[in-house]
Structure formats: structure tokens, C-alpha cells
Amino acid sequence: MKIAIVAGGTGGHIYPAVTLARKLISDGHTVTFIGSNDRMEKDVIPEQGFDYIGLDVYSTRGSVFKKVKSLVSMVDAYFRCKKILMPFDMAIGFGNYISVPVILAAKKIGKPAVIHEQNSLVGKANKLLDKKVDAIIGSYEENRAQFKNPNTRILGNPQSSRALTVRKDRNVLKELGLNPDKKTVVIFMGSLGSESVESKLIEMFKKMDGSYQIVYATGKAHYESVLSRVSENENLKIFEKIDGITVMANSDLLVSRAGATTLCEIQAIGMPSILIPSPYVPNNHQYKNAMALVDKNAALILEEKDLTAERLKEMIETLIKDEDKLKSFHDNARKLNNDYVLEDIAGVINEYAK
């Protein structure tokens, strides 16, 4: 079967789509990606070795002029996609505004279409496509009530499958200059980092008591700034980026944002975590993501408005010393994961194979 996958905007949409694409190819299907000409997918997806079709579709955010420009670009993309999709057997959407014209065009020309929702709060694009698609795959049980489509299945995020295969070896910490026998906290605020959180972290680093060690991945934009304000030592190692899944799997506690991909990895690994949801994302969806774990006693939440160096230090030092709580968070997070997510999603796709 020849499948078109539309994904774009952020890594939270793109990387789960790439993971599913590899599974579909291994099952004998062919996959082509469709995305925007001016967002990260235009570089990331071709670098992964996939065929890529770019569209000139613009964000709906901003002024009235930008909203009108976005609408015009979507209408244009819709008509273009009716021709592009003719040779394909079906389309799969992973959210973001780029998916709207592609999925609508697929349905208009009689092609089956499936969408995937990565967040616990359904995004606007998928909400719009809800009743127009043949099937919906959600990542959280909360999605079931948010969609009206009767063919909604809660199967999980494809990206969690990678976390299940990660290398478990505490010598990973030794390679980072740390003690593999010491309690370890890994901190990252996403691939871009967070300027708003950075100053609080630096203040906290200067007050560490030495009973644990920290790996901090700053993101490219903040690496030099952090190193100019705090010095590494035997209990603090600072990197621009790390292999997040591998380091997580061999650490004891995670402090991070609450993006969809990070949370699915937390569930797959069973990673005890303190989540600081970004308040700068649409519909406050990171807060909703975090609460999906907090409500299941699988994580702690610290909202950015309440973040201080002392508060975060207290939470880390209390949790890292509580073996029972760490184990409870691990077990409860693992219960939320579907270890067969790729096989299950591929099964839904194969229902439309001709």
C-alpha cells in the first residue's frame, strides 16, 4: 500500500510519525511524507531518508493578516493535494495545521484517512478533522471523550517503542564523567532549552548538597550562557545535548518539560519525574499532559509560576531519597504505556490495505 503521512511543526508531531513510517515500511508499505516548506520537517524528514513533498502552508497564529494568509494557503494546498494524493492508497495525519488540507483532500477524493493525537488535550487541527476521518488513534485515555468519532482507539504514541529498546547500563553515566553508583538527576527543557527556567536552575546548582549528581542538557541556544554562569564539578555535568532516552533510562529522576514525546518516553521507561510544563504552548496542553501522569500518581508537577530554586531543590532532594516513591512512580508510569503500540497502530492501518 502506498501511504502519505503528513506531519510537521514540532518534533512532537514529526518523530512519532517517522517511527511509525519505519514500521510501515518494514511491513511492506511505501511511505511519502508531506509537510511545510518552512518548518523543521523540511530538513528533518529528508535527513531520515524519506521522500518528501513540501507545501506552502502558513501558521494560523498572529494578526488578522496572517490568519487570512494562512487560510488562503490552506485552500491552495487543499486543491494541490487532491492531485498529489491520487496515486496514494491512504493518508495519515499527525496533527498541526499542515495536516488539515492534506487529510481533507484525501477524504474528498475517496481515500481512507487516519489521524493520530499525541497530547492528552486534542489539538485544534485534529478536532477539526474528528468526524471526517475513518479512524482516530489517541495516546491518552482522556482523548476518548474529546473525540466524537466512534472509531477512536487509545493505543499510545509510536515514539514510546524506541524507549523500550534503550540500552540499560549505568556505565553510560561514567561516559559523561559521572559516578554510575550515585543517585542521578537528568534535566532538560526540550531541544531548544528554556531561558525562563535557566536562571532558577543555575541558582539551584550552586546550592546542591552533594548527595546526588545532575546531568543538564541546556539546548543549543543556552549552552554558552549556562557555562559562563556556573562551573561544572564532580556532581554537575553540563551538555548542549545528550541522548535523552539513554541517559534517562540509566538515571534515577528526570526534571523536564511535559511535551508529548517526552511523556511517552517517561511511560515506556517508567521514569520518575518532576514536570515543569511550558506555559507558552497552545491551549496549555503541556499542563494537561503532565496532569495525565500526576493524576495516576506517576509524576510530580511544578508549574513555572511556582518555580523557585529552593522549591525545585526541595522536591528533587525529597524524591531522590524516597525509594518507595521512586518505585511507585516507575510502576505507575509503566502501567500507562502500551508496549505493543507500533504493532497495534500498524494493525489499524492494515485494515485499509487493498
Model confidence at 191, in pLDDT bands (50, 70, 90)?
Answer: low
pLDDT of 354 reads 62
d(CA 232, CA 214): 10
Rounded Cα distance between 127 and 123, Å, is 6
What percent of the chain shows pLDDT beyond 90?
80
pTM for this entry: 0.88
What is the per-residue pLDDT for 57?
A: 85
Asked whether 228 and 48 are in contact (CB, 8 A), the reply is no
CATH of domain 2-163+339-350: 3.40.50.2000
Residues of the chain by 3-state class (helix, strand, coil), percent to 5: 45, 15, 40
Cα 254 → chain centroid: 15
- Reference 271, options 298, 303, 236, 235; nearest CA is 298
CA 198 to the chain's CA centroid: 21
pLDDT, tens digit, 9 for 90 and up, residues 323-338: 999 999 999 999 999 9
> pLDDT at position 127, please?
96
Q: Do 171-335 and 2-163+339-350 fall under one CATH topology?
A: yes
User: Smallest Cα–Cα separation from 99: which of 20, 4, 172?
Assistant: 4
Looking at residue 129, what is its pLDDT? 97
272-322 confidence digits (pLDDT tens)? 999 999 998 878 889 999 999 999 999 999 999 999 999 999 999 999 999
Cα–Cα distance, 187 to 276 (Å, whole number): 11
Render pLDDT for 113-123 as a digit per residue (tens, 0 to 9). 999 999 999 99
**Residue 174 pLDDT > 80, yes or no?**
yes
What average pLDDT does the structure give for the chain? Answer: 93
CA-to-CA distance for 218 and 14, rounded, in angstroms?
A: 22
pLDDT of residue 76 exceeding 80, the answer is yes
pLDDT band of residue 58 (cuts 50, 70, 90) is: confident
Mean pLDDT for the stretch of residues 150-174? 93
Q: Which helix (H) or strand (E) holds 63?
A: none
Band of pLDDT at residue 353, cut at 50, 70 and 90 = confident
| pLDDT at residue 192 greater than cutoff 70 | no
Give the other-Cβ count within 10 Å of 292's Cβ.
23
Q: Is 14 within 8 Å of 45 (Cβ atoms)?
A: yes
CATH superfamily for 171-335 is: Glycogen Phosphorylase B; (3.40.50.2000)
Question: Alpha-carbon distance 165 to 161, whole Å?
Answer: 7
Contact 67, 88 (CB under 8 A): no
Angle between helices 260-269 and 285-294 (to 10 degrees): 20
Under 8 Å between Cβ of 34 and 53:
yes
Tens digit of each residue's pLDDT (9 = 90 or more) over 13-42: 999 999 999 999 999 999 999 999 988 898
Q: What is the model's pLDDT at position 288?
A: 93
Alpha-helical regions (H) of 119-165: 124-129, 142-146, 160-163
Q: Answer yes or no: is pLDDT of 248 > 80.
A: yes
- Calpha distance 180→43 (Å, rounded): 36
Q: Above 80 in pLDDT, residue 83?
A: yes
Distance of CA 95 to the CA centre of its chain: 12
Residue with cell 556532581: 235
Determine the average pLDDT of the residues in 251-273: 95
Half-sphere exposure of 83 (CA within 13 A, CB side): 6
- Provide mean pLDDT across the span 127-138: 97
Residue of 183, 172, 178 lying closest to 253 (CA atoms): 183
Mean pLDDT of the region 176-197? 88
Treating both helix axes as pointing N-terminal to C-terminal, what angle do 309-320 and 195-205 enclose, rounded to 10 degrees? 60
Inform me whether the pLDDT recorded for 90 exceeds 70.
yes
Q: Are 253 and 269 in contact (CB under 8 A)?
A: no
In the chain, domain spans: 2-163+339-350, 171-335
More confident site: 69 or 200: 200
Q: What's the confidence (pLDDT) of residue 70? A: 80
